[in-house]
Structure 1
Amino acid sequence: MSVDVKYTTKARATGGRDGAAETLDGSLKVKLAPPKEMGGSGDGNNPEQLFAAGYAACFLGAMKAVARGEGFPKVPNDATVTATVGIGPRSEGGFGITAALEISLPGVDKAEAEKLVEAAHQVCPYSNATRGNVDVGLTVA
């Protein structure tokens, strides 16, 4: 697979899941802590929260990009994407993640919304990165 890279960013983590992470340009800095459900303090953010926020934002952007094409409805200003990301042990060993996106497109016909969501799922970089590795559920609310 070839990618014509238009932008790169760098982030550094220290201390693992119980540490900190920041972008090298200084625009983002977060304290990391495992969630209580995994034996941590929950007193910070975790990689799954960061992944969920990134995926939701990226998918909404992909819908807007696709909607510029012919035959797709305009994405309303109050559209939302809610990403649910889970983590847990895999039966094969190690850990795995799950992902589900709930998409709200107020005022858009459900059939048209589903067509737009499916097209965005083919364009979104997060969807392309997870395809074949993570089952991603898509629900149009």
Structure 2
Amino acid sequence: MPVRTSDAKWQGDLKSGKGTVHLGSGAWEGQFNFSSRFEEGKGTNPEELIAAAHAGCFSMALSGGLSGAGFTVDSISTTAKVKVEPVPGGFEITQITLITEAKVPGIDKAAFDKIAAATKEGCPVSKALKAVPIELDAKLV
């Protein structure tokens, strides 16, 4: 299996410095700074990138779980919300919420909920982030 890489460069101190993140694939790069991370400033931040990774991983894994159970998946849309808050000694990611909507003909709510809950526990990014409470809001559309 491949090893995925990305890199970040930072210049300056925490409050007035600035950084750049590059995806190893070359598909994207973005700027980040204190304001984009801990306030509402322009730019990206590590938590937003974690959210993107988690949403993508969960959607793919849910598709796999549903397909493996014999269902045909029309579409899955997932939003991940990663909350970062000040705590004694710094900042911490305190909550992740996955909000997913799936169009899966022929599945009942109970079967969907069971597969979605198993996916929340089993997708590789969820496993990597298991130190953070993860909530799931899964809906059939």
The TM-score range, normalised by the shorter chain, is 0.7 to 0.9
Quick one: structure 1 residues 35 and 129, their matched pair in 2 at CA, closer, same or farther if it must change by over 3 Å?
same
How far apart in 1 are the matches of 2:5 and 2:44?
Answer: 18
CA distance in 2, matches of 1:56, 1:88: 20
Q: Between Structure 1 and Structure 2, which shows a larger proportion of strand residues?
A: 2
Greater shift, 19-28 or 44-53, is seen at 19-28
Deviation sequence 1:8-66 (CA, Å, 0-9, x none): 122111117731011344232111133468357x1211111111111101100011121
Query: Structure 2: which amino acid aligns with 1:88?
Result: E
Cα gap change, 1:36 to 1:23, in 2 (>3 Å): closer
Structure-to-structure mapping, 1:11-26, within 5 angstroms: 11-15=6-10, 18-26=18-26
Identity within the alignment, %? 28
CA distance in 2, matches of 1:37, 1:57: 21
Q: How far apart, CA to CA, are the structure 2 residues paired with 1:102 and 1:117? A: 11
Aligned residue-pair number: 131
Secondary structure of 1:101's aligned partner: strand
Aligned partner of 1:27 in structure 2 is: 27
Q: Distance in 2 between matches of 1:15 and 1:65?
A: 38
Q: TM-score, normalised by structure 1?
A: 0.79
| Long gaps (5+) in structure 1 | 1-5
Paired residue type of 1:7: P
Partners of 1:102 and 1:59 in 2: how far apart?
A: 10
Other structure's SS at 1:52 match = helix
Q: Which 4+ residue blocks in structure 1 deviate beyond 4 angstroms?
A: none
Alignment root-mean-square deviation, CA: 2.3
Aligned to 1:102: 99
